[in-house]
Homo-oligomer: A and B are copies of this chain.
Amino acid sequence: MLSTTPYYAVIFTSKLQDLSEEDLLLYAKLSDRMVELAAEQDGYLGVDSARNEVGITVSYWRDLESIKEWKTNSEHTMARNQRKLFYKHYNTRIAVVEREYEFGLI
């Protein structure tokens, strides 16, 4: 995906707590639902996600307004309020993408 710069990236990094299998499943379900829900928002441009020791989810947005709207989405707010049940650490960075280079096909 190449979008016209400038646009926004939300860089979310996290470390999970030692979760039971049940809680891990619940977490995975909630995460998948948030990705699905984000994709329906106005201004959503895409997402990249990977997890090893650290989880990284970078979502891309047209502008700050669309990030704010996504933040106030009620289902997203409910999910965010449960974050401390799953994470022992997380960090959210709001960044403006100024330049982008790409090689190859997705």
Residues of A whose CB lies within 8 Å of any CB of B are 1-2, 9, 11, 13, 15, 48-56, 58, 83-84, 87-106
Contact = CB atoms under 8 A, between A and B. Distances in A.
Contacts of A87: 103-104
Contacts of A98: 94-96
Contact of A106 (B1, B58, B89, B97): B89
A7 B103 CA distance: 26
Contact of A84 (B56, B99, B103): B103
Contacts of A9: 9, 11, 93, 95
Contact of A50 (B11, B51, B91): B51
Contacts of A104: 15, 87-90
Given A48-B13, A58-B11, A97 B101 contact: no
Contacts of A11: 9, 11, 58, 97
Contacts of A55: 50
Contacts of A93: 9, 97, 99-100
